[in-house]
Amino acid sequence: MTEPPYRRIAADIAGRIARGDLAAGDRVPSTRQIVSRYGVAMATATKVLAELRRMGLVRAAPGVGTVVVAPARRSRRPVVPEPQRDVVVRTAVEIADMEGLGGLSMRRLAAELGSATMSLYRHIADKEELLLLMMDRVFAANPPPDPAPDGWRARVEAICRRQWAMYRRHPWLAQAVSFTRPLPAPHAMAHTEWTMQSLDGHGLDQETLFVAAVTMANYVRGTAVSLEAEAQARHETGITETQWMETQQARLQAAVADGRMPIMREYVTGTEHEFSLDLLLEFGLQRLLDGLELQIAATSG
């Protein structure tokens, strides 16, 4: 019988590892690189990496990619026919951290666990429930600050910064969180409750308390939406967002050269400027807090 494409590609990469072309710690091709290099579908590329993991040749390195393991550490993952729900959810979070939501599927998860895909449905109803449990697990690991800082503004700022750090560690999370069709994750709801309690007692009605708390969370989440794409781009190209911006200077200057955007031209051609998602988060967060401060002052006054 003809060998499946994913096994043929996995064997090719395994051969490179055996020859030393890919040494311990080196990144193996990502799913997108496999798609481009071998002309296969994304699903096939995902199965290639799963097969290499099954062979014990590679592992997921958060923030880096899929890397070759040292020879002494190469051993086949034991088969777990019916993994417990907590193991399933934890593994799903690890895959999403490494490969984004696009790399996560029930089949991919089962391959990582060394179990049959159908066995997962003993613990997880569907992909939506899996996302809900993943989100809740991450929020549970990042509870509101305790002890809480003094003052409503410091408290709200603290919870927003905690959420930003959480999105930084789990870039996929911003894509999973929705404020139009929210999944009821109890530990995420606890963040909203904590923010509402921080604002309570300053003359705001319940409707305003809720809208204010959700607005703050949505602002942080909205800024974080770009994190997964940036993480993927960094994995694919090996360069940071700052380094990428440096490569675009000639194009930026050409775009404003005709003088139709004089303020942008002055900015682009002037002294070096700092620009990052962290900067955008900080600027917008302080302006939102300023607005809440004005509203609270008007209500209590």
pLDDT on residue 135: 95
* pLDDT band per the 50, 70, 90 thresholds, residue 81: very low
Q: Are residues 283 and 151 in the same domain?
A: yes
Is residue 95 included in any domain, yes or no?
A: no
pLDDT digits over 164-179, tens only?
A: 999 999 999 999 998 8
DSSP state for residue 126 in the 8-state scheme: S
Its domain, for residue 60, covers 1-74
Looking at the DSSP assignment, which residues form a beta bridge with residue 27? Answer: 67
How many domains does one find in the chain?
2
pLDDT on residue 2: 53
Dihedral sign, CA of 199, 136, 64, 46?
A: negative
Residue 243 pLDDT exceeds 60? yes
Rounded CA gap, 41 and 2, in Å? 18
Q: Which of 12-21, 112-121, 162-171 has the lowest mean pLDDT?
A: 112-121
Is residue 206 included in any domain, yes or no?
A: yes
Is residue 290 included in any domain, yes or no?
A: yes
Is residue 12 included in any domain, yes or no?
A: yes
Q: Which of 6-20, 68-82, 238-252 has the lowest mean pLDDT?
A: 68-82
Residue where one domain finishes, among candidates 74, 91, 120: 74
